[in-house]
Structure 1
């Protein structure tokens, strides 16, 4: 698994480098090569991530293990999305992160007690949570692209990456499509947690629940404001990134402190 994880990481970094060079030279990279290598890396990533969380006692969802799983789902969502949307440049951000997570998941020890006897409701909650985070991570990356594009257009010097991006209106449309999908998945995640978990506000879950609800509220207000008041550009970027930070703290905050810093 260690060799497989390093191979996946190397392919991810190769694809990111190819895309970066195409941006610098303003010459589009071979789409066939990019997608073929991406699917190859994703397959190796899946093998490593699944092996990393499987223990004889159950499933380990520790910090490094779940990071690899979430990164896997993010990249899968990205590759499915890139078939219909001009979001190929997001891989410059996503793939280096994926390379780190797949290697650390194979090398890092599991500091969390494996989960076993998971019910269907708990699997629904865990699955919808991972999917929500994956889609909203893509939305946050897209928001970063929108912010950069909007800034350079306002200052009348579109250079580099911005020159090969689709029009700002198209970029914003893609962002709001991602936000709608992410909000629906986050609603399912919070709702299933309320129904199937014994106490979402127990001491070890309270901060996750509160931060997830805050993130849900931010995304919901943004989508309402966009529909009713025409919010766009910088307002959309601020709400998206703030909501994503809240969600990131909910998903990884306690895991990072308890399993990495304190351990």
Structure 2
């Protein structure tokens, strides 16, 4: 089977992710991870990232032109999120995010096989402005995806602490909760992700607003994608302002992060999903 350049090898990243998750599930019965085991897992994730990255490049920047859709968008978001996780995990205690980012990458790596996307613009491949906007946008959304996963993990941790599961663990879920850093440390890591992600999102949103004709070949249109992108930017910005001014934190901040990310996902992958799958339009 070959759809817009895809072949059977396109399933290789999915296969590697599936193997990693299966192996980690089997190994999770052992609480302590030897350094050699951690290194091998990191090496395997790097191989998966390389295969996934090659698959994405060949499918998005195809010979026919710039091929894109909600499936490619989600796959790119998952790839960037996993890449940031892989890099940061060498320096920060975020191993508990590994399951979440790998599972997200597993699901999203398969989507382009099922939904091949459409040719957006044959000239986009050679347009440096469009490529720059596309790359920055993908990095921004991928980084904020990792922040959203981090917020979900913090929500679970917060609820577990309130139920005293971390003090008297029962069942399998409490073991990985015990290995998490304190909530204060987790919150600091979360906002570090948000600062960088918001800066890149701002560059993405305003480059799109100011250079719409150059980037997309049409004047700015305030459609649902633009509205959700601006809403997400406003929510993330308001959250950071509240953090600086009144020290906003805790459950309110976590809900704020997830609400802003939902709007962001609707702006990018969501708008393409509606067009391609529900409305059957390119």
Could you state the TM-score of these two structures normalised by the residue count of structure 1? Answer: 0.90
Query: What is the aligned partner in structure 1 of residue 208 from structure 2?
Result: 193
1:184 aligns with 2:199: yes
**Per-residue deviation, 1:17:** 3.6
Distance 1:57 1:102 in 2: 21
Distance 2:127 2:209 in 1: 14
Maintained 8 Å contact 2:68/2:118: no
SS of 1:60 mapped into structure 2: strand
Query: What is the aligned partner in structure 2 of residue 262 from structure 1?
Result: 279
Distance 2:13 2:269 in 1: 24
Is there any run of 5+ residues in structure 1 with no aligned partner, and where? none
Matches within 5 A, 1:120-139: 120-139=128-147
**Per-residue deviation, 1:112:** 4.1
Residues 12-55 of structure 1: CA deviation (Å, up to 9, x unaligned):
12323444455554222621111011001111111211111233
| Structure 2 counterpart of 1:218, from 228, 235, 240 | 235
Could you state the TM-score of these two structures normalised by the residue count of structure 2? Answer: 0.85
Across the aligned residues of Structure 1 and Structure 2, the Cα RMSD in angstroms comes to: 2.1
Maintained 8 Å contact 1:146/1:233: no
TM-aligned CA distance change 1:112 to 1:259, over 3 Å: farther
TM-aligned CA distance change 1:180 to 1:218, over 3 Å: same
Residues 159-196 of structure 1: CA deviation (Å, up to 9, x unaligned):
23211111111111100000101110001101211221
1:11 aligns with 2:11: no
Aligned residue pairs total 261
**Which is worse superposed, 89-98 or 241-250?**
89-98
Distance 1:174 1:200 in 2: 38
| Structure 2 counterpart of 1:28, from 28, 33, 40 | 33
Query: What is the aligned partner in structure 2 of residue 233 from structure 1?
Result: 250
Query: What is the aligned partner in structure 2 of residue 248 from structure 1?
Result: 265
Distance 1:24 1:234 in 2: 31
Maintained 8 Å contact 1:63/1:255: yes
1:174 aligns with 2:186: no
Distance 2:14 2:88 in 1: 21
Maintained 8 Å contact 1:124/1:192: no
Query: What is the aligned partner in structure 2 of residue 144 from structure 1?
Result: 152
Distance 1:33 1:183 in 2: 33
Is there any run of 5+ residues in structure 2 with no aligned partner, and where? 1-5, 167-173
SS of 2:93 mapped into structure 1: coil
Maintained 8 Å contact 2:71/2:269: no
Residues 67-125 of structure 1: CA deviation (Å, up to 9, x unaligned):
22222222212211212111222221121222232233235333344442453332222
Distance 1:132 1:115 in 2: 24
